[in-house]
Amino acid sequence: MIREIVKDQILLSQKSIDAAYEDKNIAQDLLDTLNAHHEHCVGMAANMIGELKNIIVITDQGSPIIMYNPQIIKTTGTPYTVQEGCLSHQGTKEALRYPKIKVAYLDYDFKKKIKTFRDYTAQIIQHEMDHCNGILI
């Protein structure tokens, strides 16, 4: 189900809690909402649709990836500054990002994955994980 994008800065600044298997409907709603905004959105976190759960959905080379309870376990390279936009606010904001990250997460079927992401995909994941941590982008 496509959900409305939350713009409430108080809600967005709250830290999310770990997701459970029973939260799969939230991930599906996130995916549906991301698909509805695909022309100008490449990732979403659950709090953007009003759910304080550690769930993100990102687009990696045109394919969606659902991540439950993602954790960055390693960063590599010199961090760089970038201007990022977000559906939850107007304009852009400055953020510090690493060019390469290793992420542990549970996939759509709740199987543990560890994968390395680079460049723009790594930037998207860091942005969405900031959302989960209540960091306003």
> Which positions are annotated as active-site residues?
128
What is the C-alpha to C-alpha distance for residues 19 and 16, in angstroms, rounded to an integer? 9
Contact indicator for 68, 27 with CB cutoff of 8 Å:
yes
